[in-house]
Amino acid sequence: MPATLQFPEELPKALCPYNYFDSSRLWSAPSVADFLCSLIMWTKTALFNAAVASVAVGAPSGFPSSGNGLWYSAPGVIWSRTYLPVGNGFLAAMTPGGATQEITQLNIESLWSGGPFQDPTYNGGNKQPSEQAAMATAMQQYRDGIFASPTGDIDNVEKLATDPGAYGSYVGAGYLVATLNVTGAVSNYARWLDMDQNIARVTWTQSGSAFTRETFCSHPTQACSHHVSVSAGTLAPLSFAFSSALEDGLPTPNITCLDSSTLRVRGTAGTPGMLYEILGRVRSTGGKVACITFPVHSGAPPNATVVVTDSTEAWISWVGGTEFSQDAGDAAHDFSFKGPDPHAAVLALLSGSVSTASYSTLRAEHFADVKQALGAFSLDLGQKADLGTSTDALIEAYQIDTGNPYLEWVMFNYGRYLLGSSARGALPANLQGKWALDIANPWGADYHSNINIQMNYWSAEMSNLDVMKPLFTYFEKNWAPRGAYTAQVLYNISRGWVTHNEMNIFGHTGVKAFGNSAEWANYPESAVWMMLHVWDHFDYTNDVAWWKAQGWPLIKGVASFHLDKLIPDRRFNDGTLVVSPCNSPEQAPITLGCAHAQQLIWQLFNAVEKGFAASGDEDTAFLEEVRTKRDAMDKGLRIGSWGQLQEWKVDQDASNDTHRHLSHLIGLYPGYAITNYEPAAQGGVMLVNGSRATYTKTQVMDATTTSLIHRGNGTGPDADSGWEKMWRAACWAQLKNSSEFYHELTFGIFENFGANLFSLYDPFDAVPIIQIDANLGLPGAVLNAILQAPDVPTVSTPLVITLLPALPTQWASGSIKGARTRGGITINLQWAAGKPTSGSLHVDANAAPRPVQIVFGSKVIASFTTSPGLSKTLTSF
């Protein structure tokens, strides 16, 4: 048994070389290599546990007494399963919690391979201008084929697709290695993530001294800090170094001394690739700080380290940036996305308090920001903190249906923590938030926009997290400019803009051809769905200045495109307008009048009407065209042969289709086309035999329930991921079915989350890949069981706020504070024995008056029209 254990060590790459996406491994049972890796990793943990003199038996002292955090008695060994995430939106880091040596994995939010940095001819995966006529012809042929086909579908739309070229991937930014020169057995080891203060900590005893490591990323300073201290006396010599050697594929950067205490890392994300720079400034209390340049082989990139001796505490604060510029993603900049060399900007970030304030001041500034950013809202599920069980043991013991309100509460807070830590930068949270390893990440860790990125933001408005603006700015600057080109060249449409499912940060707006078929990527409704988030933000905040400047122009652009894209239905000849060719996201057939698209576009057109007055836009012709086409369009609600809500206008749903997406149920959740179905506005469907029907609300809801049941529990073919279970949970909550809601929620938690509570794509993979959507979707699903206020089609339709619509018995008592709904309403509610006991609401001073009903069970407990500043106490439930 070695006297000194240095954890974690990177695994021998030869044995476990695959911390990257390899699709061939996705569906297989754990392979021999997986098995070996897993064996090695667990053995290492066991060795560690055996080697330390004592392992913490309860939560470490300093862990929040409320239980609001994650804690462990051994360091992390697998990035996706056991490292702990920190971040400020601009930077992110994964901390294994090493003792003598900590190897922190780094991210910079805009560091991507590919794009114009790799290929100057990169054009966002689009057709050439010269192909416009050919595309218009192809589109016409596809449409004719669909309308003429006996089954109403065609095999492919391959001609619309384009090779993605230098699509690129979000890229890791190497590692920070902080090594203490101390020997001896490690004892009293513990590590944890404190979610009251958003800080990761490690404590242990070694060589007679008690050590602490802390890592946090501060939003106000845009810097991350790693701090090492000893309880008494002088800290052993401590070195800080950066390394790319551990990262698959990242070119070795130049690591030099900027000055006597500052490391400068300059590298590129590929060869050629985007330039990035990290500056790490080391400070200490007492002692000496020196930057030392290592001798390297001639021709090798330079390397350096900063060493601290004789201090009582020492810390490094790092800042980072790239030459990516969101402001250069339009035609005026030739879609270069290229800004200045990042050096000046990152140096400027070091010029403030990062370099002058004491460590405790820096930390206090961070804590205050966390409180301000996340603290206005809180949820209590009646949980009892279990401080005697580490987080890995909690998730290990978790059971479907039985659940554990404490762990569910932690995971709710963790979802908000992860969103707050990844979405407050200049770019929105991607498929992995901002945490990603290596030069190529699963699905590029990009912005898949047919549920995943939407789900990321499910809880943001209601739980009062100020994270939406970077998402909207990304649409405006990254999507819209090239999206207008795609509208023109691919669709021969000269107004508005369009995007498809897969989006990078280089304006990839084309239909991405890869693998099997364009049906995956043929999703011109991605921006439609996203525009509902834009609308929601206005609906929640009534921020008229923002709406005029950014929200409305975005919505108008997307709506304009779809006005021109809707076409008369030449199959049913029922006088409606439909989309064609269309398919449900990631699911054939390629057909006409897909329910998903029709429901979404209908909701978008409603948003145009509802938001027109506040927009200041005088283009009434546009408004009239939206109204006319909205009324004429197929509403995407049709009941089929086995009582299901049809996924496509032609009744061809298979009752055994357990596809992971619930695309045609979009109007149930997160949309409202089903939930707030109104026969007068959405009824009047022509049936196949030529007669007309207007469904009742009950009929539509019953059909929806039938479809949801048949869609299964989220373990269908090509599917066992967490996000589909969270979507199902939210849908069951929308149907006010608390037992099915809780079943899906607990099933998802049971099946798809690792020891660090990250959502895992294939939980049976020894080294799984993470998908942040289920983490961030979980709070949205939980909220939907506690408080619902879905959107409505018109401004005069009452907003129905339902209290405790699907409360599981496990959460019989609790409270929600500072919850937001549409209409600028803030709600507080307490409940016990499954029933509200007290509640109040307050309306923002800038809110527009609107009719509201408060509902509990089947009873309307209050009915009123809001006015600015209104306060109300809720009584008599």
Ligand X SMILES: *[C@@H]1O[C@H](CO)[C@@H](O)[C@H](O)[C@H]1NC(C)=O
Q: Tell me if 689 contacts ligand X by CB under 6 A.
A: yes
Mask for 132-161, x = binds ligand X (CB under 6 A): -x--xx------------------------
* Residue 150 token pair: 């006996």
What is the rounded distance in angstroms from the CA atom of residue 656 to the CA atom of residue 650?
A: 17
447 or 485, CB closer to ligand X?
A: 485
Q: Could you tell me if 581 and 157 are in contact, meaning their C-beta atoms sit under 8 angstroms apart?
A: yes
Site for ligand X in 658-687 (CB under 6 A): 687
Q: Which of residues 360-419 bind ligand X (CB under 6 A)?
A: 400
Task: Tell me the per-residue interface mask from 238 to 257 with ligand X, x by CB under 6 A, - otherwise.
Answer: ---x-xxx------x-x---
Show the tokens assigned to 576.
Answer: 């409606």
DSSP state of 666: T
End-to-end CA distance of the chain: give it in Å, rounded.
Answer: 64
Asked whether position 4 contacts ligand X by CB under 6 A, the answer is no
- Which SS3 state, helix, strand or coil, does residue 77 take? coil
| 339-343: Cβ within 8 A, 24+ apart | 341/275, 341/277, 342/275, 342/276, 342/277, 343/266, 343/277
Nearer to ligand X, 116 or 839 (CB): 116
d(CA 863, CA 871): 14
If residue 193 lies in a helix (H) or strand (E), which one and from where to where? Answer: strand 186-194
Q: What are phi and psi of 693, to 5 degrees?
A: -135, 145
Confirm or reject binding of residue 290 to ligand X (CB under 6 A).
no
Residues in 786-815 at the binding interface with ligand X, rule: CB under 6 A:
none
Asked whether position 720 contacts ligand X by CB under 6 A, the answer is no
Q: How far is the CB of 875 from ligand X (least distance, A)?
A: 27
Q: Minimal distance in Å, beta carbon 599 to ligand X?
A: 22
Nearer Cβ to ligand X (131/609): 131
Name residues contacting ligand X, limited to 163-222 (CB under 6 A). 177, 181
Smallest distance from ligand X to CB 740, Å:
4
Interaction residues for ligand X, span 640-659 (CB under 6 A): 654, 656-657
Is 719 strand, coil or helix?
coil
Alpha-carbon dihedral of residues 827, 832, 836, 842, nearest 10 degrees? -20
The angle subtended at Cα 417 by Cα 82 and Cα 425, nearest 5°, is: 105
- Shortest spacing between CB 246 and ligand X, in angstroms: 7
User: Which one, 313 or 724, has the nearer CB to ligand X?
Assistant: 724
Question: Smallest distance, Å, CB 337 to ligand X?
Answer: 18
| Rounded least distance, CB 294 to ligand X, Å | 6
With CB atoms as reference, the residue minimizing the distance to ligand X is: 136
Looking at the Cβ atoms of 265 and 530, the one nearer to ligand X is 265
Least separation in angstroms between residue 443's CB and ligand X is: 23
Which residues within the stretch 737-766 sit at the binding site for ligand X (CB under 6 A)?
737, 739-740, 747
Query: Partners of 873 in the beta sheet?
Result: 840
Cβ 769 to ligand X, closest distance in Å? 22
Sheet-wide strand order for 238-243: 84-87, 91-95, 101-108, 175-180, 238-243, 303-309, 288-294
Q: Interacting stretch for ligand X, rule CB under 6 A, among 192-200, 264-272, 326-334, 763-771?
A: 264-272
Which among 300-308, 477-485, 578-586, 602-610 is the span making contact with ligand X, rule CB under 6 A?
Answer: 300-308
Stretch that binds ligand X, among 546-554, 583-591, 620-628, 735-743 (CB under 6 A): 735-743
Rounded to a whole number of angstroms, the minimum distance from the CB of residue 464 to ligand X is 30
Q: Computed from CA positions of residues 307, 215, 251, 348, in that sequence, does the dihedral angle turn out positive or negative? A: negative
Nearer to ligand X, 252 or 813 (CB): 252
Q: How far is the CB of 727 from ligand X (least distance, A)?
A: 15
Whether residue 727 contacts residue 666, with contact meaning beta carbons closer than 8 Å, is answered with no
| Burial of 149 (C-beta count, 10 Å sphere; 0-12/13-18/19+) | middle
Phi, psi at 245, each rounded to 5°: -60, -25
Tell me the torsion sign for CA atoms 647, 648, 652, 657: negative
Q: Which residues bind ligand X (CB under 6 A)?
A: 133, 136-137, 177, 181, 237, 241, 243-245, 252, 254, 266-268, 275, 301, 303, 305, 400, 492, 654, 656-657, 687, 689, 691, 709, 712-713, 715, 717, 737, 739-740, 747
